[in-house]
Amino acid sequence: MSKREPVAIKYVLVCDDLREEKDTKKFTVLGLYSRKIFLNAVPVMLPKLAFRICIGPVRVDDIMTMNLIRPDGELIGGGQIKIESAGDHQGEAFVNIVLSPFPIDKTGTYKLVLKHGKKESTAVAFEAEQKQHPK
């Protein structure tokens, strides 16, 4: 039996929203963030925060756990994801997560952590930073 290649996170997009065109299966990414989300005030409730995650290699019916962690290490939430289809012969798949609303109650680094089997890795880390207002 051949040893299975570990699942890797190819890339993650963090944005305000994701929209899928049902007939063409194309996605529109709205409000793409870099590594920082600048906020006027903290705490704040964002209407939405979305993630588009490309992972592979995966197989249909693979199950993964994803958790979102606050800067203080507290769990915001999480859940299991079942891979329903692999997009190509290399076994890549896309996971789209839209959280609505999304609370940001602290500045600092938020992490989306992926666990597949015994392997755990940070899919994405982003900074929530309060804007400095000129005096």
Within 8 A by CB and 6+ apart from 4, the residues are none
Q: Is the pTM of this model over 0.85?
A: no
**Cα gap 70→23, rounded to integer Å:** 37
Q: Which amino acid is at 13?
A: L
Q: What is the 3-state secondary structure (H, E, C) of the chain?
A: CCCCCCCEEEEEEEEEEEEECCCCCCEEEEEECCCEEEECCCCEEECCEEEEEEEECCCCCCEEEEEEECCCCCEEEEEEEECCCCCCCCCCEEEEEEECCEEECCCEEEEEEEEECCEEEEEEEEEEEECCCCC
Structural domains of the chain sorted by starting position, each given as residue range(s) with its CATH number in brackets: 8-129 (2.60.40.1930)
Per residue of the chain (135 residues), give pLDDT as tens. Answer: 446 677 778 889 999 999 988 898 888 999 999 889 999 999 999 999 999 988 888 888 888 898 999 999 999 888 998 887 766 667 788 888 899 999 999 999 999 998 887 888 888 889 999 988 666
Tokens in use for 42? 């903290």
